[in-house]
Structure 1
Amino acid sequence: MTLRLADPSERDDLGAFTARVVRLDQTAQVTLRASAHRVTAWAATPFDVLATRSVAGVMEPDEVTVDATALLTALAVDRSEEIDLGPGFGLWAGELPPDGGWAPVDDVPAAELEQLTERGLALAREHGSAHGPPSSLLDQTVLTVTGSGARGGVKVPMRALFALSGMGFLGGADTGAGPAGETPVVRVSATGSWMRLDARYGAVVRRRVLSLPLFT
């Protein structure tokens, strides 16, 4: 199983993403999906939110799940053009969102999300425990984004902002959504059951609608 990235900057981008994943969870896994000369990395975070980053490259096979620490080592140490991904773990055990069907809802100033995150971190320090922030804080809706792309608006929970910040995506967030020189923004998009926050260095994704049990 091999990965070939378009140039050293793409390799550094994927390396930075993987390093942030490992920083949050040293036992994490990363799923890589290849399509149309792009390789998209997916990883779970401790906040029950997915993180993702796409880089230019090709891969064989077109989907594989690997140990994040091993991937980081391969990207940082072995600088050959072809990156050996090792044996891998097969396919991703969890659920990934669809590739298409995303509708843009609105752009939110990055500074506004940074302020909300700082308030949440202060509350987490005040009310958290050795097990981390309380679930009531993580599940709290801190922002509802309305627009033409999602009926009823997209409710953004604190856990999504913690994931965005924990992955280092908020710093200098700029999706290029507006003209140069304007306030950096985070783009909010959605499908019928998923929400996505795109910042400059990556995106976080979470289900808007939880799966219903088959039996009650």
Structure 2
Amino acid sequence: MSLVVPAAADRAALADVVARVVRLDPAAVVRLRSAGTGVALWAGTPFAVLVTTAAPGRVDPADVTVMASDLLAALSVVDAPEVDPGRAVDDRWRGDLPGEVGWEVVGEIPSAEIDAVVARADPAGLDATAWEAGGVRVPARCAVAVAGMGWPEGGAAVRVAISGDGAWMRLELGGAAIVRHRRPALTVLM
């Protein structure tokens, strides 16, 4: 198994996102997927939203889940384009991912508003609408996840986008994003 990210700056950016995920949940897993000429990284958070980022490179196998702490160690210790991301723990990934669809930016949330939402957030009301942008309801849990990851930095605004099929919403923060399914998941009883 290998993760190849040729540029040191891209490896450092991946390591930064993984470190933020590990800080929130030391037992987190990360899913790595080939995406065109790059690799996409996905991780769950304690806020029931996903974190994603991407970098030029490749992963073999093309879709694998590893422990976030193992990947962080590999990216932090090995200063080389190719690293071993750790053993596969594919059975630990729960949930789906957005399809290969385009994203449409529908608005922005000022960074000060993220701080205000977090300050007034009620743990029992994380699904309450915290912000609305372009007709898209942004639940408080998304703003809390942005802050939990230590974003936005430098007062940058957070862009709100929806997937081409309308099923997913994302808060874009430069090279990373918080992603949430817009429709509730259905439970299948057998």
TM-score in terms of structure 2 length: 0.89
Equivalent residue letter for 1:98 = G
- Partner SS, residue 65 of structure 1: strand
User: Is 1:156 equivalent to 2:144 in the alignment?
Assistant: no
Aligned to 2:115: 114
* Counterpart in the other structure of 1:172: 154
- The alignment's C-alpha RMSD in Å is 1.9
On the 8 A contact 1:3/1:60 being kept in 2, the answer is yes
| Structure 1 residue identity aligned to 2:145 | A
1:204 to 2:186 alignment: no
- In structure 2, give the amino acid aligned to 1:171: E
Matched, 1:64 2:89: no
Q: For 1:32-52, what per-residue CA distance to the aligned partner results, in whole angstroms no more than 9, with x for missing partners?
A: 111222111111100101111
Quick one: percent identity of the two aligned structures? 41
Name the aligned partner's letter for residue 66 of structure 1: V
Name the stretch that deviates more: 53-62 or 106-115.
106-115
Name the CA distance, whole Å, in 1 between partners of 2:24 and 2:51.
11
Please give the residue correspondences for 1:1-216 in structure 2 after superposition, counting only pairs within 5 Å. 1-90=1-90, 92-120=93-121, 124=122, 133-134=123-124, 137-146=125-134, 153-172=135-154, 184-191=156-163, 192-214=166-188
Query: In the TM superposition, what is the alpha-carbon distance from 1:169 to its structure 2 partner?
Result: 2.6
User: In 2, Cα distance between the equivalents of 1:81 and 1:145?
Assistant: 39
How far, CA to CA, are the matches of 1:190 and 1:34 in structure 2?
A: 22
Aligned partner of residue 90 in structure 2, secondary structure: coil
For 1:47 and 1:73, the matched residues in 2 are separated by 24
Question: Which one has a bigger Cα radius of gyration?
Answer: 1
Maintained 8 Å contact 1:169/1:203? no
Structure 2 unaligned blocks of 5 or more: none
What is the rounded CA distance, in whole Å, between the counterparts of 1:37 and 1:12 in structure 2? 18
1:179 counterpart residue number: none
Contact kept, 8 Å, 1:169 with 1:199, in 2: the verdict is yes
Q: How much does 1:162 deviate?
A: 0.8
Which moves more between the two structures, 205-214 or 47-56?
205-214
The structural deviation recorded for 1:114 is: 2.6
Aligned-pair distance for 1:116?
2.3
Q: 1:59 to 1:209 in 2, by over 3 A?
A: same
Aligned partner letter, 2:171: L
1:130: which partner in 2? Answer: none
* Separation of aligned partners in 2, 1:10 and 1:155: 32
Partner residue, 1:176 = none
Asked whether the 8 Å contact 2:24–2:45 carries over to 1, the reply is yes
Structure 2 Cα separation of the partners of residues 214 and 72 of structure 1: 35
Whether the 8 Å contact between 1:169 and 1:200 is mirrored in structure 2 is no
Shift, 1:89, TM fit: 1.6
Stretches of structure 1 lacking an aligned partner (at least 5 in a row): 125-132, 147-152, 174-183
CA distance in 2, matches of 1:84, 1:213: 36
How many residue pairs were aligned? 187
* 2:54 partner amino acid: S
For 2:48, the aligned partner's letter is D
Task: Compute the displacement of 1:119 (Å).
Answer: 3.1
Alignment partner of 1:100: what SS? coil
How far the C-alpha of 1:144 sits from its partner, in A, is: 1.1
